[in-house]
Amino acid sequence: MRTPTLPHSSSGFRSPAAALVLMGSISGQSGAALATKLIAQVGPAGTLTLRLVFAAAALVAAAHPRRQELRRLLHPVNRSDLAVVCAFGLALAGMNFSFYESIERIPLGVAVTVEFVGPLTIALAGSRRWADGLWAVLAATGTLLLAAGSLFGTLRHLDIAGVGFAALAGSCWAAYILLNKETGKRIEGTTGLAVAMTIGAVVVVPVGIVRTGAALLRPAVLGVGAAVALLSSAIPYSCELAALRRATPRAFGILVSISPVVAALAGFAILGQRLSALEIGALLLVVAANLGSSWLGTPAALGTPAALGTSVPAAPVALGEEPR
Whether the per-residue pLDDT at 155 is higher than 50: the answer is no
CB atoms within 10 A of CB 226: 18
- Is 59:92 a contact under the CB 8 Å cutoff? no
Whether the per-residue pLDDT at 314 is higher than 50: the answer is no
- Is 282:155 a contact under the CB 8 Å cutoff? no
120, 96, 110: which is closest to 39 by C-alpha?
96
The pTM of the full predicted model, rounded to 2 decimals, is 0.74
Q: Which of 167-171, 203-207, 264-268, 289-293 has the lowest mean pLDDT?
A: 289-293
3-state helix, strand, coil in the chain (%, to 5): 80, 0, 20
Please give the single-letter amino acid code of residue 162. Answer: G
Q: Where are the alpha helices (DSSP H) in 190-234?
A: 191-212, 219-229
The larger pLDDT score, comparing residue 37 to residue 73, is at 37
Question: What residue ranges do the domains of the chain occupy?
Answer: 15-319
What value does the mean pLDDT of the chain take?
A: 74
**What pLDDT sits at residue 234?**
78
Of all residues in the chain, the percent with pLDDT exceeding 90 is 21
**What pLDDT sits at residue 146?**
65
Q: Which residues of 269-297 are buried (b: 16+ CB within 10 A; e: fewer)?
A: ebbebebbeebbebbbbbbbbbbbbbbee
Q: How confident is the model at residue 165 (pLDDT cuts 50, 70, 90)?
A: very high
CA dihedral (148, 152, 158, 160) in degrees, to 10, reads: 70
6, 310, 50: which is closest to 178 by C-alpha?
310
Across the range 163-186, mean pLDDT stands at 87
Most distant CA atoms of the chain, gap in Å: 57
Whether the per-residue pLDDT at 45 is higher than 90: the answer is yes
**What pLDDT sits at residue 148?**
59
